[in-house]
Chain A
């Protein structure tokens, strides 16, 4: 039997069907958690933010417009929560948190793991606006049009932010190699 689509699950959740909402949560907790982790660089914060995002989504289900993808709408809520979480942190804490994940260990021998850590570390060095578009594109695979809808900015600006973000990320990675 095929899985019910998002619109169907949202419709049922609106009438109080918690199981339907749980199905949405199961479907999207992983991408939201990953986006949160990439944006916040802290597993505890990412878990808390993911929980808050779905709680808010549940409370505001009546505001969801089925014309758009459910995940786009959820990600918009997530984006606000990322900003709130980052704003609550004392200045400079992002880098401090990031350095915690850099301590060498036997698992670092794996090249891919190391590369992944380097990228995460470089991501935390660029501004959240640029980090956000890179996460949307490369970790969540959104199109330009979907990103424009989520971020509520013109597509032209999405592209310019993404291109600049990549450039900044590349520089941050190069800077790491030289230091």
Chain B
């Protein structure tokens, strides 16, 4: 008798000590009726006992000394650092030539800011793979919130796609394995969404191109896990939908939507 995935998950949760009383009762009943489930539980429990049985290794004796020596000799408190910077700036601004020079430089910066990416990134690019790593600083965008995800369990393509947001960024996080070259077409009808960047981990060979309202990612099919993320900029907080279509050799394998905000 095969074991349902639900019970496999419960066996793992039990081993990790993260199972509720109700689920525990459910699992106990399933195990009493299914010898295969019992064998799996014993098997996993044995493996986990082996994993937890080893003692932690002691770090080598010389580890701490060099680490401490490499640290900056004195770490100024943040408040003092700010006071120091303020003092230096104050001294600089007291010199008229520097004051006028900095004002001029500030004018140039403001001019360029007015011509910022809000305008430029609406342009379409045929191949933007080389823009890897050019997206906005995600750390400054704020906390990342997961909004929706899609699970793929096809023979040719398996894994997950997750849509999360961080401030004005929408992040499409692909974690996929495919046996065929796959083209993933992401379309969005919201005119306030545009392509902002692309990042890949262990996914050399994946390419990305954009057009208005559309980003296309092409991944090779080598049965290896591919991880990459497409960053979209979204102004405003209104709900949005990204339509994903997975195409292999001209045929659509799967399509579906990921939602942000109320559907």
Nearest chain B CB to A90 CB, angstrom units: 15
Residues of A within 8 A of B (CB): 13-16, 18, 21-22, 25-26, 29-31, 33-34, 37, 43, 47, 50-51, 54-55, 58-59, 61-62, 83, 112, 115-116, 119, 127, 129, 134, 137-139, 143-144, 152, 154, 157, 159, 162-163, 166, 169-170, 173
Nearest chain B CB to A53 CB, angstrom units: 9
Tell me if B54 counts as interface (CB < 8 A to partner A).
Answer: yes
CA distance A167 to B158 in the complex (A): 17
Cβ-defined contact, B51 with A119, below 8 A: yes
Nearest neighbor of A43 in chain B, beta-carbon distance: B60
Cβ-defined contact, B68 with A30, below 8 A: no
Cβ-defined contact, B53 with A13, below 8 A: no
Nearest chain B CB to A116 CB, angstrom units: 5
Cβ-defined contact, B71 with A21, below 8 A: yes
Contacts of A15 on B, CB cut-off 8 Å? 75, 77
Nearest neighbor of B79 in chain A, beta-carbon distance: A15
Cβ-defined contact, B47 with A54, below 8 A: no
Cβ-defined contact, A50 with B63, below 8 A: yes
Nearest chain B CB to A121 CB, angstrom units: 13
Tell whether A18 pairs with B68 under 8 Å between CB atoms, given A30-B56, A31-B56, A37-B57.
yes
Contacts of B263 on A, CB cut-off 8 Å? none
A contact patch SS:
helix
Cβ-defined contact, B63 with A33, below 8 A: yes
Tell me if B127 counts as interface (CB < 8 A to partner A).
Answer: no
Tell whether A47 pairs with B59 under 8 Å between CB atoms, given A116-B54, A162-B12.
yes
Contacts of A54 on B, CB cut-off 8 Å? 67
Q: What mask results when residues 61 to 104 of chain B are scored 1 for a CB within 8 Å of chain A, else 0? A: 01110111011101111100000000000000000000000000
Cβ-defined contact, A144 with B16, below 8 A: yes
Contacts of B71 on A, CB cut-off 8 Å? 18, 21, 55, 58
Cβ-defined contact, A29 with B162, below 8 A: no
Tell me if B44 counts as interface (CB < 8 A to partner A).
Answer: yes
Nearest chain B CB to A177 CB, angstrom units: 13
Tell me if B251 counts as interface (CB < 8 A to partner A).
Answer: no
CA distance A74 to B232 in the complex (A): 29
Contacts of A112 on B, CB cut-off 8 Å? 53-54
Tell me if B131 counts as interface (CB < 8 A to partner A).
Answer: no
Q: What mask results when residues 27 to 66 of chain B are scored 1 for a CB within 8 Å of chain A, else 0? A: 0000000000000000110011011111011111011101
Nearest chain A CB to B147 CB, angstrom units: 10
Tell whether A166 pairs with B48 under 8 Å between CB atoms, given A25-B64, A29-B63, A50-B59.
yes
Nearest chain B CB to A2 CB, angstrom units: 23
